[in-house]
C-alpha cells in the first residue's frame, strides 16, 4: 500500500491510498477558491445533565451538500472544468477531512473515505483487492487518529441508502475521532467489566463461543471470522461479525484475518442485497466497534455491526415512540428467522 498526503485549498488534509504507484498517488493541487473555516463556528460537545451522555452541537452543518446530481458529485474525481473535493483525476481509495464536520479541532475530527471513483457502483460490487485496500486505510486512520491528543475513540462506518439518510450517493463511508467514549461503548464496557469481576471471564469471547456452539443464529462461518444475528437483535436484519481471535481494534488484526476479511464481508453485503425482492440495493449501516484509546482495551473485542432498517420488501423499521423516546427496542423479526433468511440467500 502506498499513502500520499496533501492539502486541499482550505487547508484540509487529503490522503490517497493506492496498491501501486498509480496516477492517484501523485499530489494534484486543489485550485478551488476555498477559504479556511471561520474560527468559533465549529461544533461543541455538551453533556446531558441527567444522563451524563455527550451531545455534539454542530449547527454549521445545516448548509452541507444535500443530494447533488451525479454530474456535480463532490466525491467523484475532478475533471477538466469541474473541480471536486478530490483534486486527482483518478484514485483507488481517498480519505479527506470533512468540509462540514460534526467534530473538529478540540472536539475531534471527521473524515470521509471514498471506496472507489465509480459513482455508479456500491461496496458490495468492489473486488477483494479493493476491499483489502479499504481495510488497510481504515486501519491506518484508526492508528493515526488514536494517537492524537484528546482522541478517545475512533469509529469507522458506512451509511448506504436514502432511507438511512444518506445525502451523497457516491460509495463512501466516514471515520470519526471522538473526544469522548461513546455512550454505546461506555455501557458495553461497564457490562464487560462487571462480568469479568463476577466470573473472571471475557463476555465477548463467551458470547461468540455460545453463538458458534448453538449455531441457530450463525449466518456465516469462516476460518478466521464468524457472523451471527445477535440473540437480542434490535433491528429486523442485524449481523455481528467477529474475528475468531479477539483484538481491540483494526490495527491489531492479524494477517490471516485481514486476508480473509474481503471475501467474508463482500458475501455478507451481497446477502443483504438479496434479502428483498427489490431493484434497488438494501439500505444499511455498517459500523466498526473498536476499543477506546485508554480504559477498557484489555477486555474489548473488535467487531462489525451490519444492519438494515428494512423489515420487509415494502416496509421500514422506524424508530418510533418506544425506541426514540425510551431506547426500548421492539423488533418485528425473530433473530432466528433473520439468520435463517440470511443463510438462505447465500451465494451459490
Nearest C-alpha neighbor of 290 from the set 304, 273, 302, 307: 302
Q: What is the 8-class DSSP label of residue 322?
A: I
How remote is the C-alpha of 42 from its chain's centroid?
A: 23
C-alpha cell read off for 81: 472544468
The DSSP code sequence of 29-64 is ---S---PPPTT-S-EEEE-TTT--EEEE-GGGGGS
Nearest C-alpha neighbor of 267 from the set 181, 179, 177, 348: 348
Contact by Cβ (8 Å): 311, 236: yes
C-alpha cell read off for 13: 488534509
Sheet holding 93-97, edge to edge: 2-7, 13-18, 93-97, 109-114, 172-178, 153-160, 284-289, 303-308, 237-243, 225-228, 218-221
Give CA separation, 84 vs 23, 26, 58, in Å.
17, 16, 24
Burial class of residue 99 (count of CB atoms within 10 Å of its CB; 0-12, 13-18, 19+): middle
Active site residues: 172
CA angle 235, 290, 145 (to 5 degrees): 130
- Helix 203-214 / helix 183-199 crossing angle, nearest 10 deg: 90
Amino acid at each position: 500500500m502506498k499513502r500520499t498526503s496533501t492539502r486541499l485549498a482550505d487547508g484540509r488534509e487529503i490522503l490517497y491510498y493506492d496498491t501501486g504507484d498509480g496516477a492517484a498517488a501523485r499530489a494534484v493541487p486543489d485550485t478551488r477558491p476555498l477559504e479556511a473555516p471561520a474560527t468559533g463556528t465549529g461544533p461543541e460537545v455538551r453533556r446531558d445533565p441527567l444522563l451524563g451522555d455527550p451531545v455534539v452541537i454542530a449547527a454549521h452543518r445545516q448548509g452541507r451538500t444535500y443530494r447533488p446530481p451525479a454530474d456535480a458529485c463532490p466525491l467523484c474525481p475532478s475533471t477538466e472544468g469541474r473541480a471536486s473535493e478530490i483534486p486527482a483525476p483518478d484514485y483507488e481509495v481517498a480519505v479527506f477531512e470533512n468540509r462540514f464536520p460534526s467534530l473538529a479541532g478540540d472536539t475531534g475530527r471527521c473524515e470521509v473515505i471514498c471506496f472507489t471513483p465509480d459513482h455508479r457502483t456500491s461496496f458490495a460490487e468492489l473486488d477483494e483487492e479493493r476491499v483489502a485496500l479499504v481495510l488497510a486505510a481504515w486501519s491506518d486512520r484508526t492508528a493515526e487518529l488514536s494517537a492524537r491528543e484528546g482522541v478517545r475513540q475512533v469509529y469507522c462506518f458506512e451509511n448506504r441508502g436514502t432511507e438511512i439518510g444518506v445525502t451523497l450517493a457516491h460509495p463512501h463511508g466516514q471515520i470519526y475521532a471522538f473526544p469522548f467514549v461513546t455512550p454505546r461503548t461506555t455501557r458495553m464496557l461497564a457490562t464487560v467489566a462487571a462480568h469479568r469481576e463476577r466470573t473472571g471471564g471475557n463476555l465477548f469471547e463467551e458470547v461468540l463461543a455460545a453463538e458458534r456452539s448453538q449455531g441457530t443464529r450463525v449466518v456465516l462461518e469462516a476460518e478466521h471470522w464468524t457472523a451471527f444475528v445477535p440473540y437480542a437483535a434490535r433491528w429486523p436484519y442485524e449481523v455481528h461479525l467477529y474475528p475468531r481471535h479477539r483484538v481491540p481494534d483494526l490495527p491489531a488484526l492479524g494477517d490471516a484475518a485481514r486476508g480473509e476479511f474481503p471475501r467474508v464481508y463482500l458475501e455478507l453485503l451481497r446477502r443483504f442485497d438479496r434479502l428483498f425482492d427489490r431493484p434497488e440495493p438494501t439500505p444499511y449501516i455498517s459500523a466498526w466497534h473498536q476499543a477506546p484509546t485508554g480504559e477498557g482495551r484489555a477486555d474489548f473485542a473488535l467487531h462489525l455491526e451490519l444492519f438494515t432498517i428494512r423489515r420487509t420488501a415494502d416496509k421500514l423499521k422506524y424508530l418510533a415512540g418506544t425506541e426514540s423516546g425510551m431506547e426500548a427496542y421492539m423488533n418485528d423479526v425473530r433473530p432466528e428467522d433473520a439468520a435463517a433468511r440470511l443463510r438462505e440467500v447465500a451465494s451459490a
